[in-house]
Each structure stands twice: as structure tokens, then as C-alpha cells.
Copies of this chain bind each other. A is one copy, B any other.
Amino acid sequence: MALNKKPYKGTRDFFPADKRVQDFIFNKMKTSAEAFSFEAYEGPMVEEVALYKAKSGEELINDQIYSFEDRGGRFVAIRPEMTPTVARMVAQVHREIPKPIKWYSIPNLMRYEKPQRGRLREHWQLNCDIFGEVGRSGEIEILQLITHLFTSFGANSEHFEILINDREIVNIVFNDLMKIDEETSYKLYKIVDKAKKVKPEGLQKMISELSLEASAEDIFKKYLAIKDFDELFAFLEEVGFSEKGAGFKELADISAKIGLKDYLVYDPTIVRGLDYYTGIVFEVFDKNPENRRALCGGGAYANLLQIFNENPVPGVGFGLGDVTLTDFLATHKLLPDLSKNDVDIYLTFQSDKAVAKNFELASSIRALGFKSLNSLEPVKFKKVFSNAEKLGARFVSILGDKELEEGFFQVKNLSTKESVDIKFSELDKLRDILKA
């Protein structure tokens, strides 16, 4: 059987043009995180399964994790998400280092998924978190960071929105107003999560099956109908819970003051993972009706370290995967043309006599800070320019036998077509020429 040339199902080969796109995206992530003074961290690509069993949801453990026994009998898994790793790392150091801790990472992760648009088995994910008791300010900074990152790609409020809710609001509705028990509450969470994905009749059917009291059902429907912050705070006022919702109102007010108003939209159907989040929960959505998907999700949690029996460390953070983000940027034409390499000068020579001199020139030009591409072999004059074009070079140098003998070479700017002769003894002149 012939060996398969394709990558393993649900994974990608990044040829140079693809890798440049990936690096462009990673650099924006890195630049935004560091503009907020987040510090990069990294962990192992393999962890013991026990860590995920303690921290991750059942679906992940039962259906999605790549787990196996190592040669020494340890049960391990390829990381499917970064949170358990960062929790383990914070658990090691949280007693010693000053808080808040602001960390980010861009790990490669694997989940056993049925590959489909926006979902692969291997992806990279930006993870940003603030650990420590920073309350609403921490939440606001995370929202500010997400907005900074998306707008750094050239995206604006026509391209994306951050749908946001607060678990405290959900608690007011479920516990204080509807007064439902835990089991019903659990079912209701699932319904809320599906509310926008089903038709009104379907939604009504799911609600009816819960046999809520009429007043509770009424409250629930009023809640689900809320469309923005103003309606939310009017609703809370109406039901007498303005005070309990004051923290979230403060977040909305400050966010508006610092320019996030156009991006933040209150959405009662955003609830996310049941057992983890305790403060805000949010998802970034593509506003393109044909690509209406969550690009990024996150929220605030009360205790990252629960599984380690350590003192509680609260936090707020998000994860942003590269697959959906790349689709988003491509859909909105926010990716530059990166099909070609970025070469300052393509150094060619005409006969073997010039091999050593061409190596020397390449070396000297690198020492000036430019990217040189040595042709390594003699290049026929008529192929020099078409090669240079394909290779993505801005300049080309030509070193023929005559030039070699007389101690100079020609440098040509491929966009202006201007050409200059440079003596071997005057390479410094190239500094200004190649800057152009």
C-alpha cells in the first residue's frame, strides 16, 4: 500500500503560505496580549488523564480526548484544552507570586472531533487569563483585550460583537424570581443554551415540559425576550433586583465609557459551562449572517484551583481558536496577501567562479540586517527576474564573471527597475538602498 501523503484526519499541513497566515495571526495575538502586559507561558502537550478527569467535562473525557497508556503504565492524554494545565501551574506558584497574575499562551490542542467547517481535530488556541481577586475590573480588562485584538486585525463593530451575560443575573432570575430547584435549574440552563437555535414552537415545547408555575414561566419568557443592557436593567428595576444587578450595571457603564459600547451586546441566552463560571460569560460572534458562529468564549470563575484543594483563586479569561478566527478574517477580507515569501534581496551569480564571493556578499548583507536569498547555483540571466518574482524578493543582485573580476555587482530594485553598481568595498551603501 502506498504511504499516505495527506495529514492525519482533522489536522493540517501548513505550507509556507499557510504558515505565514498562522504567524500573522499569532503575532497579532502576542502583540495584543503583551500590550496589556500579559506574560506568555507554555506547558506540556501531554498531561496525566487524572488532571482532565478532575477538571474537564464528561463529553470531553468520554468522547473527545486522545488518551492512552504510556510505556511505563501511566495514563496520559494529549492536551484537549489549556485550562487544566494552567490550573496545575498556578497551583504550584499562587502562594508566592503577586496577584493579579496575567498570563497568555497559544498551545496546539487535540480533540477527537468529526472534522467540519470551523472544527478540526488539531487546533491552536489563544488562552488569556487574569488570576486573582480583581472583580469587575478584571472582567472589563478581558473585554477590552478581546476588542483590542479583533480591532487590531482591522475588524470593527460591523464584523463582530461580544454577546455577554452574567451568571449573577441568571441566578437572580432562576433562584430569586422563579424559585426553581436545582434539577429544574439544570434543565433550564440547557433550554437557555438552545433558545436561539430552535424555532419558537420548539422552545415553547421544551419550556412546557418543565411544568413551571405560570408566574415562573412568565418571568422566564420575559427574561429570554431581553435584547440589550437597557432592557435588562429596566427588567431588574421592575422586579426589584436592581441592587443585586449593580455590579453588572457598573461593568456595562464603564465599558461604555471606555469605548466598548459598540461591541458589547447583552444576551440572556449566553450561559456557557454550568459548573465553572460564576461571573460574566461571553462569546464573540461573527456578525456575517452566513458565518454566524462563536469565535471565542470565556468568562469569570470563582475558583481555578478547586481540584487541587488549594485556597480559592478566582479569575477571568477566554479561549480563541485559530480555525474559526482564520475563517472569520478570510470571510471579511482582513488577511493581507501572504502568498509570497518576504525576501529583501535575491543574490544570483553567473558561473561557478563566483560561488564563494556570493556567499560572502550574502553574509555581509545579512550583517546589515537584511534577508538574503542565495541562489546557491549559477542562474541564467534570463531567469533571474522571473525567479526573483516567484521568490518574493524586493531586490536582485547580479554577479557575472566580468563584475567578479572588476570588483563589483549590480543591484536592481524590482519595483522601480532602477539598477546600481556596488563595489565589493562599498557594501555599506546597500543599507540605504535596500531600506527603500
Q: Is the CB of A14 within 8 A of B35?
A: no
Q: How far is the CB of A286 from the nearest CB of chain B, in Å?
A: 24
Which residues between 58 and 116 of chain A lie within 8 Å of chain B, taking CB atoms?
Answer: 63, 66, 68-72, 74, 76, 78, 85, 88-89, 91-93, 98, 100, 102-103, 108, 110, 112
Among A63, A144, A376, residue most surrounded by chain B Cβ atoms (within 10 Å): A376
Interface window among A208-216, A355-363, A420-428: A355-363
Bound-state CA distance A85–B387 (Å) is 27
Interface: A291 (CB within 8 A): no
Contacts A46-B110, A341-B39, A359-B140 given: A376-B134 contact, CB under 8 Å? yes
A387 to B37, CA, bound (A): 14
Which residues, 129 to 165 on A, are CB-close (under 8 Å) to B?
130, 134, 137-138, 140-141, 144, 148
A side interface size, CB within 8 A: 94
Q: A88-B5, A98-B390, A309-B2 are in contact. Are A41 and B19 (CB under 8 A)?
A: yes
Chain B residues lying within 8 Å of A179, measured Cβ to Cβ, are: none
Q: Is A51 engaged at the interface, CB distance under 8 Å to the other chain?
A: yes
**Are B70 and A42 in contact (CB-based, < 8 A)?**
no
Contact of A100 among B2, B43, B376 (CB under 8 A): B376
Whether the Cβ atoms of B307 and A74 lie closer than 8 Å is no
In this assembly, does A372 line the interface, its C-beta being within 8 Å of a C-beta of chain B?
Answer: yes
Q: What B residues does A5 contact at CB under 8 A? A: 88, 91-92, 308
Complex CA gap A163/B155 in Å reads: 52
Give chain B residues whose Cβ lies under 8 Å from the Cβ of A103.
16
- From B37, B41, B137, contact of A373 by CB (8 A): B37
With known contacts A44-B13, A363-B144, A307–B3 Cβ distance under 8 A: yes
Q: Does A20 sit at the interface, judged by CB under 8 A? A: yes
A interface, CB within 8 angstroms of B: 2-9, 11-16, 19-20, 22-23, 34-37, 39-48, 50-51, 54, 63, 66, 68-72, 74, 76, 78, 85, 88-89, 91-93, 98, 100, 102-103, 108, 110, 112, 122, 130, 134, 137-138, 140-141, 144, 148, 254, 257-259, 307-309, 341-343, 355-356, 359-360, 362-363, 366, 370-374, 376-377, 387, 390-391
- Interchain residue pairs A-B with the least CB separation, the first 4: A11-B44, A68-B68, A16-B39, A37-B373
